[in-house]
Homo-oligomer: A and B are copies of this chain.
Amino acid sequence: MVGDGLRQLDRVFHPRGVAVIGASSNPEKFGHYFFKCLVESGFSPVYPVNPAAAPVLGFPGFRSVGDIPEPVDLAVVVTPPPSVPGAVRECGRKGVQGVIIYTSGYREVGEDGRLREEELTRLARETGVRILGPNCVGIYCPKSKLINASYLSRESGPVGMVSHSGSMTTLLAMVAEPRGIRFSKVISSGNECDLDAVDFLEYLGQDEDTRFIVLYLEGVRRGPEFVRLAAEIGRRKPILFWKGGATEGGARAAASHTGSLSGSGEIWQSVIRQTGMTRVHSLEELVDCLQAFYYLEPPAGRNVVIVSAPGGPAVTTCDACLENGLALARLTTETREAIARVIPPTGSSSNNPIDIGQVAQFAPHMYTESLRLADRDPGVDMALTIGWPQPQVTEAIVRAKEVMTKPLALAVIGHLSPTDPITHKLHGAGIPVFPDPRRAARALGALAEWGERVRRRTPLLWDVRQVGPVGPV
């Protein structure tokens, strides 16, 4: 996209006015729900558009976008397919910059739908209006008060997302926000009849409000551009990538979901290798990795120290760390001796993994001291500690963090709600919290890999012609 295109997208994300075409006063209609979300988020001005020019939630209605006297940069369309082309044409006449088409019934339903979608693509070219969708849930951009689900936060943050699935955008936000994670721009790009994931990736790449990028994609039409951009942006901003339709059955499901052609597993393996994106396979893994990027600076190396009171998890966390690309830090004799002085003489280990022993539940200061001593060891790049949801233990860990200089993650075994005050305190101290050591190890592994990329800063060796188009050209 050239500068003009990026500026046009800026207007879409920060519109002077939004029209909701198909806004309804019937609370069971999406045309009501989305209008209400906009109103409740405090966005202004908003204009309901419907055939009867009926008011919605007290806002005067308009028969068409053309009747709105003020400037409208963004229109949202929730009406059935037959009325959509006319609405887009009128938006063109009105000078609207972008139209989000929520309506489904296009490429994902087969041949008829494909023809309807091609008409939209032509209309975008003819009118100069950029189309987002169809078959999507639009944009969540709290900074400009564009909010598309009632339960999403009004606060902005550094995470940008592009998703072929609308539900993944709201589900990610729903799961990540209680963990303190906030978003810059979350885009549900749907069938991508005009604007596509490559456009939005480029936009997020240059967007100063976005420091981390999440992609949920079921396929990419402009393979070479995607790989070039992901590799280039991925040197500056971590990209977390989730491929939907990675199996044959999943790919068939994707075709009837967003009409995507998914591309083969081998092609995607190669794309991951060449772009250096962090690949995830579930919403949990995505949020886990995002937490690590969000709360921690990348470590200087791959050497982790494990500090645990329970002994079994100390052993299995070693396994999990090594299986996720980390190495066990070798502690100096000095560090080991110092740690041996603060933990019990038996049922414990002062070597990495540091096994404090069960007695830590009565003497949580052992966590504080062990972590502080380990943090000072030159062989340690990061720490992973394992505890229970017991305030004395988590507070001892927060106290350790106060003077630690290296990344620290905590795995809490046993139920700890993301909305518990203990969790808030840990997040406030810059400690990401994981419900299982294995998940923490995976997230730290991703972070360490990113750290290496940042340190190397060497150009990646790739040739887009070897990748070729991914999905349909």
Residues of A at the B interface (CB closer than 8 Å) are: 28, 30, 103-105, 109, 135, 137, 163-168, 171, 174-175, 178, 216, 218, 242, 244-250, 252-254, 256-258, 281-285, 309-316, 318-323, 328, 345-347, 349, 351, 353, 355, 357-359, 362, 388, 413-415, 417-419, 435-439
Structural contact, A315 and B165, CB atoms closer than 8 A:
yes
Structural contact, B257 and A167, CB atoms closer than 8 A:
no
Please name the residue on chain B nearest to A358 by beta carbon. B167
* Shortest distance between the CB of A421 and any CB in chain B (Å): 15
* Shortest distance between the CB of A427 and any CB in chain B (Å): 15
Residues of B within 8 A of A254 (CB): 315
* Shortest distance between the CB of A290 and any CB in chain B (Å): 14
* Shortest distance between the CB of A119 and any CB in chain B (Å): 17
- A425 to B420 CA separation, bound complex (whole angstroms): 23
Residues of B within 8 A of A312 (CB): 163-168, 171, 216, 244, 257
Please name the residue on chain B nearest to A170 by beta carbon. B310
Residues of B within 8 A of A436 (CB): 282-284
Contact of A418 among B165, B357, B415 (CB under 8 A): B415
Residues of B within 8 A of A355 (CB): 253, 256-257
Structural contact, B250 and A347, CB atoms closer than 8 A:
no
Structural contact, A349 and B244, CB atoms closer than 8 A:
no
13 more contacts with CB within 8 A, not counting A105-B347, A174-B388, A257-B311, are A104-B357, A105-B346, A167-B311, A168-B310, A171-B312, A171-B313, A174-B413, A242-B316, A249-B319, A250-B319, A253-B314, A257-B315, A282-B438
Residues of B within 8 A of A248 (CB): 322
Contact of A168 among B258, B313, B418 (CB under 8 A): B313
Structural contact, B105 and A284, CB atoms closer than 8 A:
no
Structural contact, A316 and B257, CB atoms closer than 8 A:
no
10 residue pairs A–B, Cβ–Cβ below 8 Å: A104-B346, A165-B315, A167-B313, A168-B310, A218-B315, A242-B316, A248-B322, A250-B318, A281-B320, A417-B417
